[in-house]
Amino acid sequence: MSVAVMNSPVMPYLWDDPLAFLPRRKTQRFQKDQTIYTPDDPADLLFLVVDGTVKLSRISDAGRETVLDFCSADTFFGESAIMGRRDRGESAVALDECSVMEWSRDELGQLMLRTPELGPSMLRVMAAKLYDADTRIESLAIDQISQRLIKVLLRLGGQFGTPTGPLTLHIMPLTHELLARYVGTSREIITQHMSQLRRKGVLEYSRAGIDFNPDELRAVL
């Protein structure tokens, strides 16, 4: 990167938090399993998770769900609102009780005209999501299922993990079916690999959630 680019007054805006420029809105509350939008809904709103968790997914023509992502607090979703798409193409569902904030496409356009810094900061958010998606696609292409599962658990630990000790994390309870839809395999295979990880002593799981030491889990990749 050239010195001229690095010294450009525009450059710092790329790293600013969009929330520094977006006006606060009254939050909406969604109950567990409540739909926030469907694939056919118009892509005219950008959302932010205030608290709780949102699941993004798509349904194939055969009726099979693929989980695209889990969005935690302070995470934007519904970026198709600023990409010129007419409909969503995906569904957003509250994985647990959650609150979200929203801004309309028209409002975002007006805000970007008045506050030029908002555009680059939103670009940074979208670039980060594209990088995560590329990383996941690469994992689907080259990793074995056990490796994909471990990487997913580590990613979720980084997103949602609550420390339960100096070295361990706790994440929300996730069914093996839901993990299978995220990893790209069957529930039975996820159950098999989760049981193997438990026998190795690198994680514990129950209806209360999943507990693991990230370093120990990473060591068996």
Model confidence pLDDT, tens digit, residues 104-136 = 999 999 999 999 999 999 999 999 999 999 999
CATH 2.60.120.10 for the 3-133 domain, yes or no: yes
pTM: 0.86
Question: Three-class SS of residue 210?
Answer: strand
Residue range 65-115, pLDDT digits in tens: 999 999 999 999 999 998 878 889 999 999 999 999 999 999 999 999 999
The dihedral through the CA atoms of 144, 128, 52, 81 has a sign that is: negative
Amino acid residing at 207: R
Topology (CATH) of 143-219:
Arc Repressor Mutant, subunit A (1.10.10)
Looking at every residue in the chain, the average pLDDT score rounds to 90
Q: Is the pLDDT of residue 1 over 90?
A: no
Helix axis angle for 118-142 and 105-114, nearest 10°, is 120
Residue matched to tokens 């990893």: 183
Q: Could you tell me the residue ranges of all domains in the chain?
A: 3-133, 143-219
